[in-house]
Structure 1
Amino acid sequence: MTILVAGSTGLVGGNIVEHLAGKGGEVLALTRAPEHAELPEGIVPVKGDISDIGAMRSALKGVDTLFLLVPNVLGEHTYVLQALSVAREIGIKGIVYLSVFRAEDYVDVPHFSSKYSAEQMIEQVDLPATILRPAYFIQNDAWQKEPLLSQGVYAMPIGNQGISMVDARDIGEAAALELLRRERSHDSLPSETYTLVGPDVIDGETACSIWAEVLGRPIRYGGDDLNGFETCLKSVAPEWMAYDMRLMMRRYQQDGAIAVSADIARLTELLGRPLRSYRDFAAASAAEWGGH
């Protein structure tokens, strides 16, 4: 039994390997710098990069099940299709692929469109895969610490339509469960798709209300200014990425990203417990930030 986790040192991948540690079999963590990887005991680092076909072919030798996360990079569309093709060539028994909620609708957002292309490939060539479609990560709002504490502002321009934000820890656990289910099966299993969401719908004003409660101070919404959002992001990220994020926020403002009750119920059943809420994250963050 061998599982390879691509993206093993990131937010989601780190949660996955934590859940897989000690569950039996061999778990390999794909990383560009094995010597620096901080992994749970028993997880084996493997040198490789999702953009390197030769490295992927080498890393996938002897692997039965693959977790595939391709980050938001300029070559994402090419890299994900190549990785899926290499996995297909070796006859992989199972794949768990991290896509995004509403990928088929937000086709004007580059990283959504790339992920939807991967979903289409999985369907058309009949790969044995579980597609996980997470909404906006709750943990993205850790970046709000400075404006919340210094200015009393929630500055993420998510609009007023609402998003069923999901905790990255729930994503990691769901991915680990699906990896183990596919790995432990004698044969390849049929395709599955899970929408990964949280139990609440969060918009700008709701987020402000929650932060005001947990921080014990007034918090106002910074508004829907996408020009300012893009300009701010360009100071810390490449221009193409800042524009990609602007396009995503524009769609959130226009259309929202709200889950149906069946999605929430299905994920709750998979995890066997209630889903983590935005309020849980905010309360824990407020406690952590208390002395700062």
Structure 2
Amino acid sequence: MTILVTGATGTVGRQVVEQLVGRGADVRALVRDPGKANLPAGVALAQGDLLDVDSLRGALTGVSTLFLLNAVVPDELSQALIALNLAREAGIERIVYLSVIHSDLYVNVPHFAGKFAVERMIERMGFSATILRPAYFMGNDLMIKDVVLGHGVYPMPIGSKGLAMIDARDIGEIAALELIRRERSATPLPINRINLIGPETLTGTRIAAIWSEVLARPVAYGGDDTAAFERNLRNVMPGWMAFDMRLMAERFLTDGMLPETGDIERLTALLGRPLRSYRDFAAAVAASA
């Protein structure tokens, strides 16, 4: 019984692999370059990617459960649908899919709309699946740590509605637990969705205050200018992606990323421990600077 992990060398996928290995699972990882994968001992490496049908078909051979993770790319939906069709061809029924919270609400944001389409296809194709819907990753803020540490400004335009930010390590552990639960079940389990959120809902000013407390010096919130956010992102990513991120930020301002009743309690019970906090993330970043 083998679990195939896609996106295995990325931020979340690597956490999933490590958690699965630590729990004794038989893990296969889909990677573009096995020589650079640097995954734990015992993980079988399958070279390929989600647009290479032949390599993906080979990677899925003998697999019983699939962890499907797609990067934010222009052909994300095509990648996912190819993977789902090849999984069905291989007789795989059990899937854990990494979607995004409010995928059905942020309907104008390309990568949210794409993930919601994949959710619908998973249902229509009859898979036994857990759909994980994470909120904003705390680790995304590593991209702006130099601005926070060097200039005393938290520049992400996340507004005042609040985001229930989550640590990628918690995502990886929950994904692994769900994969193993489905893998070890005598029969396929019903489809379910899980919001993946952190222990508190954070506004821009609250995050700035946390950084101020951790650094023992003032950090200001940079404000809600999403146009400036897009311009800055264009220096480090393609224009289409920067615009996608701007549209997402605009929905932060109007809707936030808010948990549903019982989400925190459900995740705490699943993990058997408290969720990791943004303060702990900020303290670790400051300590390593």
Same fold? TM cut 0.5: yes
Shift of 1:151: 0.9
Task: Specify the alignment match of 2:28 in structure 1.
Answer: 28
Residue 234 of structure 1: aligned partner: 234
Between the aligned partners of 2:266 and 2:24, the Cα distance in structure 1 is 26
1:108 maps to 108
Q: TM-score, normalised by structure 2?
A: 0.98
Percent identity reads 55
> What do the CA deviations read for 1:147-169 (whole angstroms, capped 9, x no partner)?
11211000111111101111110
Aligned to 1:42: 42
Q: Is residue 22–residue 42 contact of structure 1 (8 Å, CA) maintained in 2?
A: no
- The equivalent of 2:67 in structure 1 is 67
Cα distance in 2 for partners of 1:150, 1:268 equals 35
Give, in whole Å, the separation in 2 of the partners of 1:260 and 1:119. Answer: 19
Question: In the alignment, is the contact (CA less than 8 A) between 1:93 and 1:187 conserved in 2?
Answer: no
Per-residue CA deviations over 1:185-208 (Å, capped at 9, x if unaligned) read 232221121110001011100000
Q: For the residues of structure 1 that align with 2:107 and 2:82, how far apart are their CA atoms?
A: 21
Q: Which runs of 5+ in 2 are unaligned?
A: none
Counterpart position of 1:85: 85
- Counterpart residue number, 2:162: 162
Contact 2:4/2:67 (<8 A) preserved: yes
Q: In structure 1, how many angstroms separate the alpha carbons of the residues matched to 2:166 and 2:104?
A: 19
Change over 3 Å in CA distance of 1:25–1:135 after alignment to 2: closer
Is 1:132 aligned with 2:132? yes
Q: Secondary structure at the match of 1:161?
A: coil
Q: Which moved more, 1:183-192 or 1:112-121?
A: 183-192
Q: Distance in 2 between matches of 1:96 and 1:82?
A: 16
Letter paired with 2:90:
I
Cα distance in 1 for residues equivalent to 2:116 and 2:174: 20
SS of alignment partner, residue 159 of structure 1 = coil
Work out the CA distance in 1 between the residues paired with 2:4 and 2:159: 38
Displacement of 1:265 in angstroms is 1.2
Partner residue in 2 for 1:210? 210
- Distance in 2 (CA, whole Å) between partners of 1:13 and 1:25 is 15
The aligned length equals 289
CA-atom RMSD, angstroms? Answer: 1.0
What is the alpha-carbon distance in structure 2 between the residues aligned to residue 115 and residue 18 of structure 1?
25
Letter matched to residue 17 of structure 1: V
Please give the alpha-carbon distance, in whole angstroms, between the structure 2 residues aligned to 1:4 and 1:235: 35
Question: How far has the Cα of 1:23 moved from its partner?
Answer: 2.9
Confirm or deny: 8 A CA contact 1:154 1:222 kept in the other structure: yes
Q: What do the CA deviations read for 1:51-87 (whole angstroms, capped 9, x no partner)?
A: 2222211110000011000110000111111211111
Match of 1:7 in 2: 7
Measure how far apart 1:125 and its partner are.
2.1
Could you say what secondary structure the match of 1:177 adopts?
helix
CA contact (8 A) 1:32 1:49 kept: yes
| 1:221 to 2:221 alignment | yes
CA contact (8 A) 2:25 2:180 kept: no
Trace 1:245-260 onto structure 2 (pairs within 5 A): 245-260=245-260
Once the two structures are superposed, residues 251-291 of structure 1 have per-residue CA deviations (whole angstroms, 9 ceiling, x without a partner) of: 001111110231111111111111111111111111111xx
Counterpart CA distance in 1 for 2:46 and 2:54 is: 13
Structure 1, unaligned runs of 5 or more: none
- Mapped contact 2:72–2:111 kept (Cα < 8 A): yes
Rounded to whole Å, the distance in 1 between the matches of 2:23 and 2:218 is 46
User: In structure 1, what is the equivalent of residue 191 of structure 2?
Assistant: 191
What SS does structure 2 have at the residue aligned with 1:95?
A: strand
Give SS of 1:201's match: coil
Counterpart in 1 of 2:172? 172
Distance 2:14 2:216 in 1: 32
Contact 1:94 1:129 in 2 (8 A): yes
| AA matched with 1:6 | T
Partners of 2:159 and 2:85 in 1: CA distance: 38
Residue 27 of structure 1, CA deviation: 0.6
CA distance in 2 between partners of 1:180 and 1:228 (Å): 43
Q: Secondary structure at the match of 2:117?
A: helix
**Offset, 1:25:** 4.4
Match of 2:53 in 1: 53
